[in-house]
Amino acid sequence: MVSEEIKPKKQRDEECIINCLPGELIERIFFKLPVSTLLRCTGVCEQWHKIIRGPQFVTSHLQHAPHYALLFFPQESVSGEPHPADAILIDEAWSLSTYAVPVIGPDDFLCGSFNGLLCLYTKSSTLKIANLATGEFLHLEKPVKNLRGDHFLFYNFGFHPLTKEYKITHLLGDSIEGRPRPHNNNRFSVVQVYTLGDEKWRDIKTPEALSLNCVKNSGAVTIDGTLYWLIEDVVASWQHAVMTFDLCGESFAQIQLPATKPEDFAAGGSRRYWIREMDGKVCVATAQTCPSLPRWLVGKLQIWELENKTEQRWIQKYNIQYSPDYIPGPNLVHGDKIILQRCDGNLYSYELLGENFNTELCKMAKLLDFSPHKPDNMQSYICVKSLVRLDVYKKTAIVRRPKQREGWELKKWEAWEHELSENERMWSDTHRDEHKETARAQRYRMMINNLLPHILDDTIRQEISMNINQISPNFPDQQPRPIRRLNWVAQKQDLQNLNARMKKYNTIMKATDEVTSSIISMMGGAIEDQKRASSSNAGISSHNLSEADDDVKTLIPESLP
């Protein structure tokens, strides 16, 4: 048996920290830590690494993980200027994240989020699966190469709670006779399915040809292992029905919408429909559009919830008196509030108050200004930060390395990167100048204090003593900034802060220079007066006055650039 004295110090420390605590207690402590901290803890010792990266802990941690609202804005061009894809996380306290999500590239589109994993559509030949928190990712080959009209809205990402399988679905547009590839995106008769870890995609035929336009206009949601989307049904009161695709049995079913016809607003235009998720339930929202502005909504926003899937029973969840201008998706609710967009370019959260389903939007809170992004492009998901691993899927044949450059390496983002670099350079220059001017002010104060004994006039000496305290630039904190990419909302605020900081710097330096100049002038005048009076034996030698006069003159070139 090895004695305690000859054991390596690291081994003794590990045994002391870990073996003295029950394993269940260690796990309970770990559950309270964010993923970023847990990842650092995996490097502490082998036992911590084994616990944190073990499948049992990963699953348990997922159940304890806090929920975020993830607001995703795809890349788009506004007035000819490209704007990269970006995401904002909103925590349970409704605080907005400031740093960019590293796994999201500037050209990515989001197709779904489950258990901390994101499915991202790229314009290259691959799809990307990424862990939001750990940064792990892998690229999967798309089901069809060189597909004209391919669109991210035709892809969906889901997880089945019973089989524990992650699946990607792709709605494949029908081929036009005489053409080898799908050309238009009006209808589809095949759902292509890929199970994470398999070697290839599989084709599942739909019961009939279905409308792709419905998917584009109304969206799709995956809840409890089932994919839901709207289809056309001209004989139904809503002229729509719900189609489902079970990710486990890979079978289709149809659900009729409520028999009650939505009440139309007299001055409204055509009616729009969306399929959405609210608190883990399938919901259908409907509202009329403005006749002159088809993207704006008027009248009431009605939201119906699928109460019983087997019995196809719906209940009216909300009848919101004043409809918003835009409906984000696929998730509408975060916590106990609904997230809605207005045409003023802002995103708001509202509490829903009212009796039964008649509801008003109350306690409005502005979340963010999403300009210059277009309001109808925003997506919202409920997500978590997890430790779910992707390395177990990386050995399958479908995993590919992108054949072309992507992300921030693309030339079109060089100008955007240059602008960010310029902002960082200006911040660094401002920090440097503030530090330099603070040091210069301290040097001035020391020199002036050393010269004060040479001033015999009590009034002038006291006035200079009072003004010395103003030669102390009150700059904000001078700590260097961490080198991390901000998301676009934080970038806008950061640029405003930079402009305000530079303006404040100029104001402080102007005031400091004016005070310094005034003090030097007073000291110079006082010494000159004393030199003239020295001939009548004023109590100070001509030699000392000349030295003081020289010291005052040394301040002038520095303080008055």
CATH (domain of 118): 2.120.10.80
Listed as ranges, residues in the chain with pLDDT below 50 are: 1-4, 12, 16, 538-540, 557-561
Domain match, 161 and 49 both? no
Quick one: CA dihedral 11, 16, 20, 21, positive or negative? negative
Query: Which domain does 521 fall in, by range?
Result: 415-555
Q: In this predicted structure, what is the pLDDT of residue 372? A: 84
Angle at which helix 55-64 crosses helix 23-31, to 10 degrees, equals 40
- Examine residue 4 and state whether it is found in any structural domain, yes or no: no
- Domain stops at, among 361, 377, 402: 402
CB–CB of 283/304 below 8 Å? yes
Between β-strands 313-320 and 358-369, what pairing exists: parallel, antiparallel or unpaired? parallel
- Domain stops at, among 402, 423, 457: 402
- Cα separation, 499 vs 504, in Å, equals 9
Domain match, 156 and 53 both? no
- Examine residue 5 and state whether it is found in any structural domain, yes or no: no
Domain match, 345 and 370 both? yes
- Cα separation, 246 vs 226, in Å, equals 4
Helix (H, G, I), strand (E, B) or coil at 525: helix
Helix (H, G, I), strand (E, B) or coil at 258: coil
- Examine residue 10 and state whether it is found in any structural domain, yes or no: no
Count of structural domains within the chain: 3
End-to-end CA distance of the chain: 76
Between β-strands 165-173 and 155-160, what pairing exists: parallel, antiparallel or unpaired? antiparallel
Domain match, 427 and 507 both? yes
- Examine residue 11 and state whether it is found in any structural domain, yes or no: no
- Examine residue 561 and state whether it is found in any structural domain, yes or no: no
Domain match, 131 and 237 both? yes
Domain match, 55 and 75 both? no
- Examine residue 135 and state whether it is found in any structural domain, yes or no: yes
Domain match, 265 and 142 both? yes
Domain match, 28 and 80 both? no
What is the 3 state secondary structure string of 94-132? CCECCECCCCCCCCCEEEEEECCEEEEECCCCEEEEEEC
Give CA 486 to chain center in angstroms: 8
- Cα separation, 45 vs 164, in Å, equals 30
DSSP 240: E
- Domain stops at, among 373, 402, 431: 402
Residue among 312, 299, 350 nearest 328 (CA): 350
- Cα separation, 329 vs 395, in Å, equals 34
Q: pLDDT per residue over 449-458, tens digit each? A: 887 787 777 8
Domain match, 530 and 500 both? yes
Q: In this predicted structure, what is the pLDDT of residue 451? A: 79
- Cα separation, 476 vs 280, in Å, equals 46
What tokens appear for 240 in the block? 């729509």
- Cα separation, 229 vs 284, in Å, equals 10
Helix (H, G, I), strand (E, B) or coil at 379: strand
Between β-strands 379-384 and 329-330, what pairing exists: parallel, antiparallel or unpaired? parallel
Q: In this predicted structure, what is the pLDDT of residue 351? A: 84
- Examine residue 129 and state whether it is found in any structural domain, yes or no: yes
CB–CB of 328/341 below 8 Å? yes
Residue with tokens 């000496």: 461
Cα–Cα separations (whole angstroms), residue 326 to 72, 298, 330, 331, 353:
15, 10, 13, 13, 20
Domain match, 167 and 304 both? yes
Q: In this predicted structure, what is the pLDDT of residue 538? A: 46
- Examine residue 410 and state whether it is found in any structural domain, yes or no: no
Domain match, 210 and 318 both? yes
Domain match, 35 and 52 both? yes
Residue length of the chain = 561
Quick one: CA dihedral 257, 260, 261, 263, positive or negative? negative
CB–CB of 124/406 below 8 Å? yes
Angle at which helix 488-533 crosses helix 458-468, to 10 degrees, equals 170
